[in-house]
Structure formats: structure tokens, C-alpha cells
Structure 1
Amino acid sequence: MQVLIMRHGEASFHAESDAARNLTNRGREQTAQMAVWLRTKVSRIDRVLVSPYIRAQQTLDVFKAEFPLPATSDIDVLSELTPGGDPEQTIEYLIALAEDGVDSVLIVSHLPLVGYLVADLCPGVYPPMFSTSAVACVSIDTGEGRGKLEWQQTAGSVS
């Protein structure tokens, strides 16, 4: 299974709560750039897992405008994908999806969880930093439940 782990786009700090922060215009631009770049690297996404926080939802909306998802793609909003979420719960969910035949998943979430997901999936990998709209690609061996970090890309270095 291929898992694309994406941090949300740049968000404003002016909001009633952390969950209510909106993307900035720069965050929308970064996310659109990343989605366009990903079209050259990824042929399809079967399933999307996204945080319930507004900035993650908005990131997914911008992403979908540039990387059309198949009509068969399911989108799951998971409370486990908030900044303080439990990476092990998400990994268990990913393994269950793989066992159901899902080949590719996009996760849209937050720091520090995105880094912990990569580290917990990939033995020997320290949690990487994620700039806004950055994506890491992890291939998971479903038999072992462990993965390999294939690449990580920041929005600022795509064109």
C-alpha cells in the first residue's frame, strides 16, 4: 500500500480555537502546487483520511480541485488525525484498509502527528519535519505492518 502523508497548508493564527484556523492564501497556493506536482508522481488515490480541523478540510478541498479523485474514493474524517492524535490508531486503520484491498491512501493532518506516523511506520526513521503542504510517501508491507519512506517533498521545492 502507498500512503501519502500530507501536512495541511499554511493557516492563520487568528481564530477562536486551534480547530477553527483557516488556510491563508499562501496555504491554498502551496497546496495547489503540491497537488499538481503529485499528479506527476501518483496515478491514483483510493482513500482519503482527513482531520476534522478546518485547515485540513480546506487543504483537502484545494487538493481535490487540482488532483481529481476517482468517484470511488472514500473520504473518512477521523478525530485520530488531530495534532495530538494517536499514530498507532491510524496505523491500525491503514492496515485494515490494506487488508480490504485499498492500494493508495492520502492522509491530511497536522504536526506533530504527521512526523510520528512516518516514524512509527518506518523503523529507524526519526520523525521528519513537515513544512506546510509537505508530503511524505510511505510504502507499507501489509504482512509486516511496517513501511519504507520512499520520499518527502516540500511545497516550496515543486514547480
Structure 2
Amino acid sequence: MQLFLMRHGEASYLAHSDRERTLTEAGRFHTSEMSNWLAKSVVEFDLVLVSPYLRAQQSWQEVSKHFPEPRKWLVLDELVPSGDPSTAADLTLAYAEQYKADNVLVIAHMPLLGYMVSELVAGTEPPLFATSGVSLIDKDGEKTNLVWQHTPHSIS
């Protein structure tokens, strides 16, 4: 299974709550740029898991323009910035197994994503995720590796 962990695009701070922050124009642009780059090597996502926060939902809207409709996509309340990384990682793997997904995309937040990498890849320090940044984790049975991590700036 290939697991793509993506941080939402840059978001405005002008909102009534953290949950309601919207993407900036730069956030939309960089998310679209990363999606276009990803589409060169990933044909489709079987499963997409997205945070309920508005900026993550808007990031998924941008990403979805570059890929066919996934077999399944879900909004998970556990994928919030303060979410428990162990629970989020376990749920991601359980849903991937349930839906027999080979390519899984998770769109969420820092610090959760960094800690999820540490949960999924033993001995890996939690990496920082730039906005719109993506990491690829390859899981083959019990063997799990962090393959790469890219930002919009590293692909241009």
C-alpha cells in the first residue's frame, strides 16, 4: 500500500475559529501545483481520508480536480490538529484494509501528520510538513518505509 500524507494548503487566520479557516489564493495554488505533480506518478486514489476542518476540505477540492473520483472518501473527526496520532494511524490502516485500498491519501494538519509518520514508520522522527507538503509511506506487509517528502517549492 502507498500512503500519501498531505498537509492542507496555506490558510488565512481571519476566521471565527481554527476549524473555519479558509485557504488563501496561495494555498489553493500550491495545493493544485502539488496535485498536478502527484498526478504524474499516481493514477488514482482508492481511498481518501480528510479532516473535517474547512481548509482541509478545500484542499481536497483542489486535489480532486486532478484525479478520478476515489472508490471511497471519508471525513474523519480524528484527523484534526490535536488528534491522537496512534488512533489516526490505526484508523487509516483499518480503513485501507476494509476498502482494500492500494493508494490512500490523507489530508490533515500539523502536528498530527508528523506524529503519524512516527507511528507508521518505526524509528522515524516526526517530520515537519510545509503547507501543501506530501509524504509517501510505502507499507508492504510489516515493512514500512518513508519513501519521500516534498513541498511545492521542492518540485518547482
TM-score w.r.t. the length of structure 2 is 0.94
Aligned to 1:158: 155
Displacement of 1:95 after TM fit? 2.6
The answer on whether the counterparts of 2:22 and 2:58 sit within 8 Å (CA) in structure 1 is yes
Displacement of 1:28 after TM fit? 0.2
SS across alignment from 2:3 = strand
1: CA distance, partners of 2:72 / 2:96: 14
1: CA distance, partners of 2:2 / 2:111: 21
Letter in 1 for 2:83: G
Residue deviations 1:106-127 (CA, integer Å, cap 9, x gap): 0000000010111110111100
Q: For structure 1, list consecutive stretches of 5 or more residues without a partner in the other structure.
A: none
2: CA distance, partners of 1:62 / 1:109: 14
1:149 lines up with 2:146 in the alignment = yes
Q: For structure 2, list consecutive stretches of 5 or more residues without a partner in the other structure.
A: none
TM-score w.r.t. the length of structure 1 is 0.92
SS across alignment from 1:89 = helix
Displacement of 1:3 after TM fit? 0.5
2: CA distance, partners of 1:133 / 1:99: 26
The answer on whether the counterparts of 2:19 and 2:54 sit within 8 Å (CA) in structure 1 is yes
- Aligned-residue Cα RMSD (Å) equals 1.3
Q: What is the correspondence of 1:129-148 to structure 2 with a 5 Å cutoff? A: 129-141=128-140, 143-144=141-142, 147-148=144-145
Aligned to 1:90: 88
Displacement of 1:140 after TM fit? 1.6
SS across alignment from 2:110 = coil
Letter in 1 for 2:26: R
Aligned pairs, number: 155
